[in-house]
């Protein structure tokens, strides 16, 4: 069966520091991968998606970037965090061409 | 693009009562409508979904109805239990791209009191 892992679960970082959140998927090949951000009262906002290694599409211009160095690995990064980057970040995957999303457990980022 | 509105934002019920959450969507081409449940501190989990060729789908205590003419769909939970307490998200998608194009509502916090 397929599983999705996301870490770290919780992160507290100072303004201006770098960020790296990692996500891996097991039990499937060539998944579509996604990063969402969840802010209180604002639902789920798609940040990036990837349909293959090295292929990244951005939905929202921001202080963040994403990379996919391996087929089942997706990384969310920032060179310098802003206060507004605080939130709950969710990684997700889907079968190519399908709409059904499976989410990871999430990473809570607090920028101070 | 698609726009999904979800109501209410919070819903409090007594254990054993029914709960109904409603969503409307804007794109008449949307044909896939999932519902996700998110417990505190966890990622959302798919609990039920419906496609545009079906008007109603049921899975034990939960059911989803779809009205394509009015462009709205609803989640019904019967005989609610305290463990149903969570945030519920609806979503809609046209499914015409090679990746998931789900647009989510802003969520409903359901509180079930014993």
- For residue range B24-56, list pLDDT tens digits in order: 999 999 999 999 999 998 999 999 999 988 899
- Are the beta carbons of B41 and A108 separated by less than 8 Å? yes
- Are the beta carbons of B44 and A97 separated by less than 8 Å? no
Beta-strand runs (E) in A1-72: 3-7, 10-13, 19-26, 32-38, 44-52, 55-58, 65-70
CA gap B54, B67 in Å, rounded? 9
Instruction: For residue A52, give the chain B residue with the closest CA.
Output: B99
- Among B6, B98, B91, residue whose Cα is nearest residue B45: B91
Q: What is the mean pLDDT of chain A?
A: 93
CA distance B58 to chain A (A): 18
From chain B, the residues in CB contact with A104 under 8 A are 43
SS3 at position B83: helix
Is A99 an interface residue toward B (CB < 8 Å)? yes
Is A58 an interface residue toward B (CB < 8 Å)? no
Whether A62 shows a pLDDT value over 90: the answer reads no
pLDDT in tens, A75-107: 999 999 999 999 999 999 999 888 889 999 999
pLDDT of A102 reads 95
CA gap B91, B49 in Å, rounded? 9
């Amino acid at each position: 069966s397929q599983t999705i892992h996301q870490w770290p679960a919780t992160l507290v970082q100072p303004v201006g520091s770098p960020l790296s959140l990692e996500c891996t998927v097991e039990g499937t090949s060539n998944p579509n991968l996604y990063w969402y951000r969840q802010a209180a009262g604002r639902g789920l906002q798609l940040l990036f998606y990837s349909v293959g290694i090295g292929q990244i599409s951005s939905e929202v211009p921001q202080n963040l970037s994403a990379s996919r160095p391996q087929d089942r690995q997706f990384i969310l990064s920032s060179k310098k965090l802003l206060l507004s980057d605080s939130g709950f970040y969710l990684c997700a995957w889907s079968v190519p061409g399908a709409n059904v999303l499976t989410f990871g457990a999430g990473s809570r980022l607090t920028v101070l | 693009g698609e726009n999904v509105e979800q109501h209410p934002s919070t819903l409090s019920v007594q254990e054993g009562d029914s709960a109904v959450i409603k969503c409307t969507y804007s794109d008449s081409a949307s044909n896939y409508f999932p519902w996700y449940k998110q417990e505190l501190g966890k990622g959302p989990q798919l609990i039920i979904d419906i496609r545009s060729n079906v008007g109603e789908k049921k899975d034990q205590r939960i059911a989803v109805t779809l009205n394509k003419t009015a462009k709205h769909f609803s989640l019904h939970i019967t005989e609610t239990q305290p463990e149903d307490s969570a945030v519920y998200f609806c979503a809609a998608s046209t499914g015409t791209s090679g990746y998931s194009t789900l647009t989510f509502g802003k969520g409903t916090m359901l509180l079930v009191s014993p």
